[in-house]
Structure 1
């Protein structure tokens, strides 16, 4: 840690790229990782409140809490964007999906989600089969709050949109024309049930709807939308 702090103090701007390849990144999982290039899988410096999204993947988080000096050093590295150490933001979510979602989910239109058991807060199902409904809702909270930083088209190929029936649905590449998910909050139960029996999906009521791109994939319950 002393070596890392010393090196960072002597480097500025593009010079921080000299850290690439050095195994000096302390991880929340224990041990160390090498500084990579900006195009490599990111190692995350998380602000307070963001750690929960990666509780099941501590190997992705930098342990910057050892000392104020270390925290300042790693923050400087992350701000420079010259290495794989980055401040977490919604802009990194597309690059992180292969790291936090099961590989077999890639390319699936629909996958079954599990719910967290009482007392669990990792966002990962107990049987290790993948993220829970609660985790995806937290992910959409970030996407909604930081919607200007990421286009939802960058999430194509991964089932990440929670439905009311406990599935995760992949945003279709062709948008509404290919989508079978609807906004059914406030719709009469008989109509809602009929649509779901026809193979339509209802958007989960707790999904953060702040991202303006969401309307490109979710039908409204109008006569035309139905």
Structure 2
């Protein structure tokens, strides 16, 4: 069982070169019409900025300067989030989620990252919310998630407009320990590689933890 104090030590899957990944993504973006890109991604194009809803916030990409910022604070977005955002924009083709959910391991190469993914998603959900499912629901609401009627608590988070992530929790009882799962829509691999999905899933869970403490 993960101890709460271990949360500060969680690490994301290693990108070989974050700067290079972002550079390549922006080069692809620059070859396309930003307004059309935003439309296909269910984002907005205002002035020269693409505005992408992200959980309870919005990410702004300035098409000219390539700066990624958080609208609510105007702070620069962390590079891992910028990479996820540019991959989402570049890969969006207008398709919407189907509602059919899949486990991380069911996607191509998901099994390579599954042990670390489970430690930093399922184990965290169980450690923080296993005895208090209502706290997961409340945290999900703070992140503008959709509360689902499954398990003992479940929330569908809109990580990006066409990229939902679903967290389900079953509370502990006298017979069984708490259990949790993090699921993706079957269309997730349109937007993300398994590595990207791992980062998005892990950070979604950490956002829920932060929201539960706010």
TM-score over 0.5 for the pair: no
TM-score (norm 2): 0.27
Higher strand share: 2
Bigger relative CO (Cα 8 Å, ≥ 6 apart): 2
Higher helix share: 2
